[in-house]
Amino acid sequence: MNTTAYAKPINENKRSWLVKALRSWRLYVLLAPTFIYLFIFNYIPMYGVQIAFRNFTARDGILGSQWVGFDHFVFFFNSPQFEILVTNTVLISVYTLLWSFPFPIILALMVNEIRRPRIKKTIQTITYAPFFISVVVLVNMINVFLSQPDGLINQALQFFGLDTVNFLGRSSYFRTIFITSGIWQSIGWNSIIYIAALSSVDVEQHEAAMIDGASKLQRIWHINIPCIIPTAVILFILSTGHIMSVGFERIFLMQNALNLDVSEVISTYVYKVGLLRAQFSLTTAIGLFNSVINLILLLIVNQIAKKTSNISLF
């Protein structure tokens, strides 16, 4: 069988790719710092994933530590806290995703309809500002508003002759407070990409719809929303890849002994049990478990989106 016919096109393709790369060498130089950063901080640390399968000690090092297989995973799965941790983590993440995902889209649609540039920029600045507030300051603001009995909300309740409420001490209020504060802080920042997508809408489509007698709501529904659906689907797929990764700082600062039954999540458990007690192998095993679940969810949602809407990451 003559293989020269196959080798020649392959060599030509390699040569043409090399020629294109040499012509665009400036772009590769520009991208080099990013690739180096990703390689150093994202790929090299993957070498330490094997700690999850070893009884790691700093004295013996990674390779010198005893290999224990899946013992740390079994310990975590059999832990009496496992069901509570997974339930709290999933519920907070799913509720956050379902409630917080539509608000940036709604805000972007509303801002896009503002025709006065000064008012538009003012609203954007006001909604963006909370994103730059540190987590510590945000939690302190929550305490100022909701603490008992000196919080502003409780002072208002007292003014109207009502009983004060320990909002931060009741488990039933924790998820609502956590999700609401997160929406308030991130709604403006998350709306930026939708506003950018709306800026690409063809003005002629709106003009044609106005000639046909379409109202503003009809134009939003039939022109603007279809334009941002691909962006929304991609962001939703990416968000599902973080279902098991609830942010540590805010939820840890909002925790107390009274709401611990709903606020204890995997990230706070890792900090308390894994890091404070120097159980690095257990911490790595839990982190690997989170990453695998997130990857599986990402692949599933991506496949569903691909079949239903023909929009996917890959």
**What burial letters (b/e) apply to 122-147, b meaning 16+ CB within 10 Å?**
eebeebeebeeeebeebbeebeebbb
Q: For residue 23, give the 3-state DSSP assignment.
A: helix
* Spatial CB neighbours of 308, under 8 Å, sequence gap ≥ 6: none
Q: Comparing C-alpha atoms, which of 246, 217, 243 is closest to residue 106? A: 217
Asked if the structure places residue 127 within a domain, the reply is: yes
pLDDT at 101 > cutoff 50? yes
Within this chain, do residues 178 and 305 fall inside the same structural domain, yes or no? yes
Which CATH number covers residue 162? 1.10.3720.10
CA 143, CA 150: separation in Å to the nearest integer?
9
- The identity of residue 134, as a single letter, is S
Contacts 24+ apart (CB under 8 A), 205-210: none
Counting residues of the chain whose pLDDT is more than 90, the rounded percentage is 53
Asked if the structure places residue 204 within a domain, the reply is: yes
Within this chain, do residues 195 and 53 fall inside the same structural domain, yes or no? no
Whether omega before 149 lies within 30 degrees of 0, making that bond cis, reads yes
Mean predicted confidence (pLDDT) in 294-301:
92
Residue 67 tokens, joined: 């290999």
Task: Report how many helices (DSSP H) and strands (DSSP E) the chain contains, helices first.
Answer: 18, 2
Query: Per residue in 276-297, pLDDT tens?
Result: 888 889 989 998 999 899 999 9
Q: How many domains does the chain have?
A: 2
Query: Per residue in 6-27, pLDDT tens?
Result: 444 555 666 777 777 788 888 8
Within this chain, do residues 271 and 122 fall inside the same structural domain, yes or no? yes
Residue 133 tokens, joined: 């507030």
Within this chain, do residues 87 and 44 fall inside the same structural domain, yes or no? no
Asked if the structure places residue 206 within a domain, the reply is: yes
Within this chain, do residues 186 and 106 fall inside the same structural domain, yes or no? yes
Within this chain, do residues 18 and 123 fall inside the same structural domain, yes or no? no
Query: Per residue in 118-148, pLDDT tens?
Result: 999 999 999 999 999 999 999 999 988 988 7
pLDDT at 115 > cutoff 90? no
Phi/psi at 247 (nearest 5 deg)? Answer: -55, 135
- The identity of residue 67, as a single letter, is W
HSE value, Cβ hemisphere, 13 Å, CA-based, for 270:
23
Residue 118 tokens, joined: 């000064």
Asked if the structure places residue 282 within a domain, the reply is: yes
Within this chain, do residues 222 and 280 fall inside the same structural domain, yes or no? yes
pLDDT at 3 > cutoff 60? no
CA 182, CA 172: separation in Å to the nearest integer?
17
56 is in which domain, residue-wise?
Answer: 1-69
CA 164, CA 153: separation in Å to the nearest integer?
8
The position carrying tokens 């919080």 is 151
- The identity of residue 183, as a single letter, is I
pTM for the structure as a whole: 0.84
Angle between helices 280-309 and 225-240 in degrees, nearest 10: 150
Within this chain, do residues 283 and 232 fall inside the same structural domain, yes or no? yes
Asked if the structure places residue 74 within a domain, the reply is: no
Within this chain, do residues 43 and 121 fall inside the same structural domain, yes or no? no
Mean predicted confidence (pLDDT) in 253-270:
91
